[in-house]
Copies of this chain bind each other. A is one copy, B any other.
């Protein structure tokens, strides 16, 4: 059965940028699986509505549609048990639920205000208008105002990564000696930023920076070879 993955893109169909789609991309690679990519844009709600979702990633496995990056990771772990494990056992799967929330809040939520004003430039006209109006409603101000404070805001963001940073001082990956899904949860946010914004999130001597470099190189440079800004 073939795998197909709806992935968020903008005007360049070969530049996927959703942090959640990148979690799934890395998880597929970890399992040694390839999926046909189906480029999807913000305003193409109709394309995925039949699969029961308003957001990507949506994974199609034969007739089955799997929605939400966390659900997809669990699905891949169970449907391909003989491939390398994403969770490293049931304890890993259970406690990774909290790391997934931490990644959503601290990494994705932390980065968003720094890069949000850079995103419209990556989008076609219709998507850019949709993105700007929906996100300006959410923030309650123009995107450029949200992003204006990023040079100051990034200091607190870097500090908020301490639980990740301190872990990486004694092991190369959250997964231990090798990356597992916990790493892809966090990495997805950094790869999202790299795809859409030139803003420098990490300092060069940060252990988180070195860890990001290793994940950019993983799977023959899957992430590094995807279009993005210099880091």
- Within the complex, what minimum Cβ distance (angstroms) separates A163 from chain B? 4
Contact of A163 among B105, B170, B173 (CB under 8 A): B105
- Determine chain A's interface SS by DSSP, over half rule: helix
- Within the complex, what minimum Cβ distance (angstroms) separates A89 from chain B? 2
Tell me the bound Cα distance from A152 to B204 in angstroms. Answer: 36
Known pairs A162-B105, A163-B105; A85 contacts B94 (CB<8 A): no
Contacts of A174 in B (CB 8 A): 94-95, 97-98
A101 at the B interface (CB under 8 A)? yes
Residue in B closest to A159 when the chains form the complex, CB atoms: B105
A193 at the B interface (CB under 8 A)? no
B88–A94 CB distance below 8 A = yes
A101–B162 CB distance below 8 A = yes
- Within the complex, what minimum Cβ distance (angstroms) separates A98 from chain B? 4
A29 at the B interface (CB under 8 A)? no
Contact of A95 among B99, B105, B106, B166 (CB under 8 A): B99
- Within the complex, what minimum Cβ distance (angstroms) separates A85 from chain B? 7
Copies of this chain held together in the complex: 2
A175 at the B interface (CB under 8 A)? yes
Contacts of A96 in B (CB 8 A): 91, 95
A180–B95 CB distance below 8 A = yes
Known pairs A89-B92, A91-B92, A105-B162; A98 contacts B167 (CB<8 A): yes
Tell me the bound Cα distance from A164 to B99 in angstroms. Answer: 9
Tell me the bound Cα distance from A146 to B182 in angstroms. Answer: 36
Q: How many residues of A contact B (CB 8 A)?
A: 31
Tell me the bound Cα distance from A68 to B49 in angstroms. Answer: 52
A171–B99 CB distance below 8 A = no
Residue in B closest to A170 when the chains form the complex, CB atoms: B97
A90 at the B interface (CB under 8 A)? yes
A190 at the B interface (CB under 8 A)? no
A192 at the B interface (CB under 8 A)? no
A87 at the B interface (CB under 8 A)? yes
- Within the complex, what minimum Cβ distance (angstroms) separates A212 from chain B? 15
Tell me the bound Cα distance from A175 to B95 in angstroms. Answer: 6
A175–B101 CB distance below 8 A = no
B167–A101 CB distance below 8 A = yes
A176 at the B interface (CB under 8 A)? yes
